[in-house]
Structure 1
Amino acid sequence: MRLQGKVAIITGSASGIGRGIALAMAKEGAHIAVVDINEEKGQETLKELNELTESMLFIKDISKPESVTEIVQAVVAKFGKLDILVNNAHASRQALFADTTMDMIDLSFGTGFYPTFHFMQAAYPELKKTKGKVINFASGAGLDGQPTQASYAAAKEAIRAISRVAANEWGPEGINVNLISPIALTPGVEAWKQSAPDMYEAMINRIPLRRLGDPEGDIGRTAVFLASDDANYITGQTIMVDGGSIKLR
């Protein structure tokens, strides 16, 4: 129970990678605030979490900057503190670089970069009290410059940039800030697998470990490690949980 009694906010945790992280952390004893725009899926995840341990919370994220402080305050009011912030939520649309529009840029930054930025600022006073952990999300789309991913890659690299700044500034106060860059079999990828099996197989063959990560068993367990005392001497790092697809130097 490496996270026994810890309190975590996990954005985008109604499904996919966020849900996997929530389940992994709950099984290690953490209290989870499920923050997601999808209330139906969020309540389903909350029910799963409450079957593992009591005292979980769902908060609907309406994706407005002013709501972020209210979310942090609501979590602290219920649990008394905040130890872990996981900024997972992000939405984007794919297009060739020449066809990328400002609406696409605004969507990616509005659902990914800006919420990450605002949550970090709002959570900082509480994380300072608990010497807490921040886990943000990078992507191979930005690290490798994947085609059709201009808006997503830009937002993800911007998140990496502010994470490194925060790691330097907040390190003396005992706050760790790290990133996970995942490849995972999410519901969306599962649907794509069914509709384009040849393309899916080709992608698998480019991954050295020849499989996609499990949202809970691979991505979630990595998040548990980064949120635990075992990772107290790690900060400002991008952890590649991608089956060996990208090797950082």
Structure 2
Amino acid sequence: MRLLGKIAIVTGSASGIGRGIALAMAKEGAHIAIVDVNEEKGKQTLEEINQYTEGMLFIKDISVKETVYTIVEEVVKRFGKLDIIVNNAHVSSQAPFIETTQELIDLSFGTGFYPTFHFMQAAYPELKKSRGKVINFASGAGLEGQVTQTSYAAAKEAIRAISRVAANEWGPEGINVNMISPIALTPGVEQWRESAPQLYDEMIKKIPLRRLGDPEQDIGRVAVFLASSDSDYITGQTFMVDGGSIKLR
């Protein structure tokens, strides 16, 4: 129970990687605030969370700055504090670089970068009190410049940039800011595997460990580590939880 009594906000946690992280943290004793736009799946995840600990659900559009601050306020009002922020939510659409429009850039930054930025600012006063943890998300799309990923890669690298700045500025106050760059078998990937099995197999062959990560057991366990006291002397780092696909130097 490494997170016993901790309070965590996990965005995009109705399904996929966010759900995996929320469940992994709940099983370690953390109370979880689920934030998502999918009400049906959000309620299902809340029921799962409540089997282990206490959860609350926000069906909110976090692209709106004021909504982010309201969520933080309501979580603190209910639980009395805030220890962990996991900024997982992100929506984007692929297009070749020359076909990437302002709308696609705005979608990626509006659902990924800006909510991350606003949650960090909104949570800062509480994280300072609790000497808390911030977990943000990077991507191989930005690290390697994957084709057709202009808007997504740009937003993810922007998130890495502000995470490093915050790690330097907030370190003296005992706040840790780290990033996870994952590859995981999410519901969307499962659908793609069924529709394009040959492409899926080709992707797997490029991963040294020859499999995709499990959202809870692989990605979630690393998030638990970064949210716990075990990672107190680590900040500003990008953790490649991708089966060995990218090796940072």
What band does the TM-score fall into relative to the shorter chain? over 0.9
2:151 corresponds to: 151
Q: What letter corresponds to residue 62 of structure 1 in structure 2?
A: D
Work out the number of aligned pairs and report it. 248
The gaps in structure 1 that reach 5 residues or longer are none
**Alignment of structure 1 residues 22-37 onto 2, 5 Å:** 22-37=22-37
Identity %: 76
**Alignment of structure 1 residues 17-56 onto 2, 5 Å:** 17-53=17-53, 55-56=54-55
> What's the offset of the Cα at 1:164?
0.1
1:122 corresponds to: 122
The gaps in structure 2 that reach 5 residues or longer are none
2:82 corresponds to: 82
2:190 corresponds to: 190
Q: What letter corresponds to residue 192 of structure 1 in structure 2?
A: W
Is 1:203 matched with 2:206? no
1:110 corresponds to: 110
Superposed CA deviations along residues 1-42 of structure 1, whole A, max 9, x for unmatched, are: 000000000000000000000000000000000011111111
> What's the offset of the Cα at 1:224?
0.1
> What's the offset of the Cα at 1:65?
0.7
Q: Residue 85 of structure 1: SS of its match in structure 2?
A: strand
**Alpha-carbon separation, structure 2, partners of 1:232 and 1:107:** 34
Q: What letter corresponds to residue 136 of structure 1 in structure 2?
A: N
2:56 corresponds to: 57
1:16 corresponds to: 16
> What's the offset of the Cα at 1:52?
1.8
Superposed CA deviations along residues 150-182 of structure 1, whole A, max 9, x for unmatched, are: 000000000000000000000000000000000
Q: Residue 211 of structure 2: SS of its match in structure 1?
A: coil
2:101 corresponds to: 101
Superposed CA deviations along residues 108-128 of structure 1, whole A, max 9, x for unmatched, are: 000000000000000000000
Q: What letter corresponds to residue 16 of structure 1 in structure 2?
A: G
**Alpha-carbon separation, structure 2, partners of 1:166 and 1:74:** 24
**Alignment RMSD (CA, Å):** 0.5
1:171 corresponds to: 171
2:67 corresponds to: 67
> What's the offset of the Cα at 1:222?
0.2
**Alpha-carbon separation, structure 2, partners of 1:227 and 1:245:** 24
Q: TM-score, normalised by structure 1?
A: 0.99
Q: What letter corresponds to residue 60 of structure 2 in structure 1?
A: D
Q: What letter corresponds to residue 171 of structure 1 in structure 2?
A: G
> What's the offset of the Cα at 1:62?
1.7
1:142 corresponds to: 142
Q: Residue 51 of structure 2: SS of its match in structure 1?
A: helix
Superposed CA deviations along residues 27-76 of structure 1, whole A, max 9, x for unmatched, are: 000000001111111111000111122x2100122231111110000000
1:248 corresponds to: 248
Q: What letter corresponds to residue 134 of structure 1 in structure 2?
A: V
Superposed CA deviations along residues 62-103 of structure 1, whole A, max 9, x for unmatched, are: 231111110000000111100000000000000111111111
**Alpha-carbon separation, structure 2, partners of 1:178 and 1:102:** 29
> What's the offset of the Cα at 1:134?
0.1
Q: TM-score, normalised by structure 2?
A: 0.99
**Alpha-carbon separation, structure 2, partners of 1:223 and 1:51:** 20
Q: Residue 52 of structure 1: SS of its match in structure 2?
A: coil
